[in-house]
Chain A
Amino acid sequence: MAGPVQSIERAAAILRLLAAGPRRLGLGEVAASLGLAKGTAHGILRTLQHVDFVEQDAATGKYQLGAALLHLGTSYLDVNELRSRSINWADALAARSGEAVRLGTPLEGKVLVVHHVFRPDDTLQTLDVGALLPLHASSLGKVLLAYGTTPLDAALESGLDAYTRHTLVAPEQLTQALAEVREVGWAAEVQEMSMGEAGLSAPIRGHGGLVVGAIGLSGPVERICDSQGRPRPSLITLIREAARAISRDLGAARW
C-alpha cells in the first residue's frame, strides 16, 4: 500500500495554519511556519487557490481560507454558470441527435432541470427549465446518484415511488443499476418514468473529475432504443461526446 501523499499532508497543514488565526498570512510566513521552501509553499498555495480553498488578497498578496471551504457540502458550481457553459454543446447534441436535451443538477432530493433544448423538429414545445424530476426514475437522476453528486441514502430513505411498472422501486435494484452506470459511464431510463418514453444521460465533470451535473436526451422509446429495446449506441456516443466537451470546458482534465 502506498504511504501518505506528502503534498496533500502539506496542503492540509497550510489550511490548518490559515484556519488557526483571523489574520491573512504572507507566503514567507506560511513557508517559515511550516518549515517549507518558499517555492514548495507557493506551489501548494497556488493549487489551493485554483480549487478556491484559498484566496489571495489582491492588494497585499496575502492568503486566507477561501469561501469554497465554507460551502464544501453544497454544489460549488452555480447552475446558471453551468447552463451558460453548456449551451453550445447542448444545442449541438439536440441538433445531431434530433431529440430534446436537458441538463440536471440535484435539488432537495430531486433533479432540477437547469437547461432544456427543444427537439429540433419545429413542433410546439414548452420550456421546462425549473421543473423537478425524480432521481431514481430519470436518466439524469441516475447519473447524479451514481456519481455521488447527491446522496443515495437520502433517496432510499424517502422511498422509491413507482411511476410505471418499469420503475426501479427496490433499493437493491437501484443500487445494482447505479453500479452499472458507473461501469459504463452513462445511464438509461426506459419507460421508468412514463410509458413510451426513454432517456439517456452522461455525467458532466468539473475540476478534479467531480460530477457537477448530468446531460441527457429523451424521447419516444422507439427512437431512443433499438428494436430489442436497447439504447442506441449512436446516441450514447453523441451524449458522451457532449458531456466530455462540457467537462473539458469546466476544467476537468481527463474527460
Chain B
Amino acid sequence: MVERYVMSIDQGTNSTRCILFDHGGRLAAVAQREHQQHFPKPGWVEHDAVEIWHNLRRVIPEALSGANLAAEQVAAAGVANQRETTVLWDRHTGTPLGRAIVWQDTRTAPLVEDLRRRPGEEFFLERCGLPPSTYFSALRIRWLFDHVKGLEQRAKDGEVLFGTMESWLIWNLTGGADGGLHITDPTNASRTMLMNIRTLTWDEELLAFFGVPRLMLPEIRSSAETYGEARTLLPGLRLTAALGDQQAALFGQTCFSPGEAKCTYGTGSFLLLNTGTDVVRSRHGLLTTVAYKIGDQQPVYALEGSIAVTGSLVQWFRDRLGLISSAPEIETLARTVEDNGGCYIVPAFSGLFAPRWRSDARGVIVGLTSYITRGHLARAVLEATGWQTREVVDAMNADSSVALKELKVDGGMTADNLLMQFVADVLDVPVVRPMVAETVSLGAAYAAGLAAGYWPDLEVLRRNWHPAARWLPDMDPGRRDAEYDNWQRAVERSLGWIRPPRS
C-alpha cells in the first residue's frame, strides 16, 4: 500500500514552508522560502502578499519532489500562519491593495492611545478579550481606511476583501477571483479585535466601532473541518485546517488539557496556556484567545503571553549590525565570553508586548562600558529572550492557581543550547523540547489529519509526543535574583521613550 502523508503549510513572518508528516508525526519532507521584509519607515513592517503566494507555489512542489511523493499521497493539507498581519485585496482581480501590514508594525500607535482613553480597554476586553494594541488587525484596517483614498468606500461597496495570511492563501488556492473560498478560523479571527470571544462570530458593535464593513470579512469556520479542495497547484488537494501559528504550536505540542503550556521561540515568542472551555480573563497582562475549535465541538481557549521580539533580535544582530553571518552563530559568539559583562538589551522595537503592553517603549542597550565586546552583546541578545520569557511566566503563574512545573518549548531558537539552558536557569523549571521542533507545522498537520480522518483522535496524537532534549535549571538563586533585578531596571529605561506628537 502506498504510504500517505499530511501536508502542512506554515506561512510565517520570515518564510513560507511546506512540510509533509507521516502517521507517526515524523517529518518526511520540507521546503521553504524566505520573503522580503520591508521597513519603509521606523516602526513600519510590510510584506508583499503576492511574493508570499508565489513562494507557496514553489515550496509545495519542492516538498513533494524532495520526498519523491505524488500528489495523491497527500491525505489533506492544513495551514498555519503568522497572525494579525493584514492583507486587503481586490475581490475581482485578486490584486493586493498595497503591501500587507505585519503584526510587528507600530504605525497605529496613536490610535491605540485614543482607544485607551475612549472607549477604554474594558469595552474591548469584554467583547474580544484583547486590549487595544498595535498588534491586532482591526486597527490596521482602520488606519488603511483613514490613509488610502477611496478605500473605505470601495470596501463598503463590497469590492475589497480582508484577510490574514491563511485567508489570502486559501482564497488563492481555491480559485481566487474565480470563486475562491474566503474563510478564516476562530484562532485567527480572535486576533483581529473584531470577533466576539464567546460567540466566535463577528461582533456587530466592534465592526461598527472600527467602521469595518461585514462584506469584506471572511467567513469564520472551524479550525479543523473540510473547507474544500484546491483548484490550482495541486487540484483536488483537501484543505481541512487553518490555525494561527501559535495556536498550531500549542496543538502540535499536544497541549490538549487545561493547564498545559508551551512556548514557541521564533521571530517573536509566544507562551500559550490551555484553559479548556473556560474564557479566562487575565489580571496580569495576558491575552485571552481561542486555542482551537475542532469541527462542531466546543471551542477550547488559551491565555497567551506574546513577546514581540526574540528571534528577530538575533536577525537584527545579523542583518543590521553584521556581527554574525548566520543566526546560529550567535551562540558561538556568546560562548566567547563567560557572562554578559553587565550589559542588557531590551528589544522593545515594537514597544513591549506581554505582560507590559507599552507601545511607548523602544529598545535600549544599557550597562555599556569600554569592557563590553560583541561577545557580551551576543549574550545580552540571548538573555533578553530568557528574561522576557520569565516575565510572561510570572504573569501566568499569577493568573493561574497552579505554578508552571515544566516548560515545553519549540521553534528554531530551541537549537540554541546556551539559550535553552538560560531559559531553564531563569525560570528555575526544566525546559523540554519535543522530538519535532517544527510544532507549528505539526499542529496544522495534526488538525488537518484529524478533520480528514487520517488520525482518529487526540489520544493518538498525544502518544506521538516524546521529549528530544531537556535542560535542567543550574543557576545560583542569588545570581538569578540579581540578574532579574538588573533586567527589570533595564526595562524601566526603555519605557516612555516615544512621546505623543506635540499638537
**Do these two chains really belong together in a complex?**
yes
- State the A residues within 8 Å of B (CB): 78-81, 83-85, 87-89, 91-92, 94-96, 116-118, 120-122, 125-127, 129-130
**Given A118-B468, A127-B471; A84-B327 close (CB under 8 Å):** yes
| A116 x B469 contact (CB < 8 A) | yes
Instruction: Assess whether B417 is interfacial by the CB under 8 Å rule.
Output: yes
Helix, strand, loop or mixed for chain B's interface?
A: mixed
Alpha-carbon gap, A20 to B73, bound state (A): 58
Alpha-carbon gap, A96 to B331, bound state (A): 29
Alpha-carbon gap, A83 to B26, bound state (A): 18
Instruction: Assess whether B416 is interfacial by the CB under 8 Å rule.
Output: yes
Chain B residue with the shortest CB-CB distance to A119: B466
| B435 x A95 contact (CB < 8 A) | yes
| B470 x A87 contact (CB < 8 A) | no
Q: How large is the interface on B (under 10, 10 to 19, 20 to 34, 35 or more residues)?
A: 20 to 34
Instruction: Assess whether B332 is interfacial by the CB under 8 Å rule.
Output: yes
| A78 x B437 contact (CB < 8 A) | no
| B24 x A95 contact (CB < 8 A) | yes
Closest Cβ of chain A to B292, distance in Å, is: 24
Chain B residue with the shortest CB-CB distance to A93: B26
Instruction: Assess whether B326 is interfacial by the CB under 8 Å rule.
Output: yes
| B412 x A84 contact (CB < 8 A) | yes
- State the B residues within 8 Å of A (CB): 24-28, 30, 326-332, 412, 414-417, 435-438, 466-471
User: 16 A-B residue contacts at CB 8 Å?
Assistant: A78-B332, A80-B328, A80-B329, A80-B331, A81-B329, A83-B417, A84-B412, A88-B27, A91-B26, A92-B26, A92-B27, A94-B468, A118-B435, A118-B470, A120-B435, A129-B417
Alpha-carbon gap, A130 to B417, bound state (A): 10
Extra contacts, 19 of them, besides A81-B329, A120-B468, A127-B471 (Cβ < 8 A), are A80-B328, A80-B329, A80-B416, A83-B328, A87-B414, A87-B437, A91-B26, A91-B435, A94-B468, A95-B25, A116-B469, A118-B435, A120-B466, A121-B466, A125-B470, A126-B470, A127-B417, A129-B417, A130-B417
| B415 x A83 contact (CB < 8 A) | yes
Closest Cβ of chain A to B374, distance in Å, is: 15
Residues of B within 8 A of A95 (CB): 24-26, 435-436, 466
Chain B residue with the shortest CB-CB distance to A125: B470
Residues of B within 8 A of A125 (CB): 470
Residues of B within 8 A of A130 (CB): 417
Closest Cβ of chain A to B415, distance in Å, is: 4
Alpha-carbon gap, A127 to B418, bound state (A): 13
| B332 x A118 contact (CB < 8 A) | no
Alpha-carbon gap, A212 to B471, bound state (A): 27
Residues of A within 8 A of B471 (CB): 127
| A118 x B466 contact (CB < 8 A) | yes
| A118 x B327 contact (CB < 8 A) | no
Chain B residue with the shortest CB-CB distance to A98: B466
**Given A78-B332, A80-B331, A84-B328; A91-B468 close (CB under 8 Å):** yes
| A127 x B469 contact (CB < 8 A) | yes
Chain A residue with the shortest CB-CB distance to B335: A80
Closest Cβ of chain A to B467, distance in Å, is: 6
Closest Cβ of chain B to A242, distance in Å, is: 11
| A118 x B26 contact (CB < 8 A) | no
Alpha-carbon gap, A118 to B434, bound state (A): 9
| A122 x B466 contact (CB < 8 A) | yes
Alpha-carbon gap, A81 to B327, bound state (A): 8
**Given A79-B332, A117-B468, A121-B466; A91-B436 close (CB under 8 Å):** yes
Residues of B within 8 A of A127 (CB): 417, 469-471
Alpha-carbon gap, A79 to B327, bound state (A): 12
Closest Cβ of chain B to A252, distance in Å, is: 15
Closest Cβ of chain A to B252, distance in Å, is: 13
| B415 x A80 contact (CB < 8 A) | yes
Alpha-carbon gap, A204 to B470, bound state (A): 25
Alpha-carbon gap, A85 to B467, bound state (A): 19
Residues of B within 8 A of A92 (CB): 26-28
Residues of B within 8 A of A121 (CB): 466
Alpha-carbon gap, A12 to B437, bound state (A): 43
**Given A80-B328, A81-B328; A117-B412 close (CB under 8 Å):** no
Residues of A within 8 A of B469 (CB): 116-118, 127
Chain A residue with the shortest CB-CB distance to B470: A127
Residues of B within 8 A of A126 (CB): 470
Alpha-carbon gap, A127 to B470, bound state (A): 7
Residues of A within 8 A of B416 (CB): 80, 84
Residues of B within 8 A of A84 (CB): 327-328, 412, 415-416
Q: Which of A80, A85, A91, A116 contacts B437 (CB under 8 A)?
A: A91
| B417 x A78 contact (CB < 8 A) | no
Alpha-carbon gap, A125 to B415, bound state (A): 18
Alpha-carbon gap, A91 to B417, bound state (A): 15
| A78 x B328 contact (CB < 8 A) | yes
Alpha-carbon gap, A33 to B468, bound state (A): 56
Residues of B within 8 A of A94 (CB): 435, 468
Closest 5 pairs (CB-CB, A-B)? A120-B466, A80-B328, A84-B328, A84-B415, A80-B331
Closest Cβ of chain B to A118, distance in Å, is: 5
Alpha-carbon gap, A220 to B123, bound state (A): 62
Closest Cβ of chain B to A19, distance in Å, is: 22
Residues of B within 8 A of A122 (CB): 466-467
Closest Cβ of chain B to A57, distance in Å, is: 13
Residues of B within 8 A of A81 (CB): 326, 328-329
Closest Cβ of chain A to B106, distance in Å, is: 29
Alpha-carbon gap, A83 to B30, bound state (A): 17
| A118 x B437 contact (CB < 8 A) | no
Q: Which of A85, A91, A129 contacts B27 (CB under 8 A)?
A: A91
Residues of B within 8 A of A117 (CB): 435, 468-469
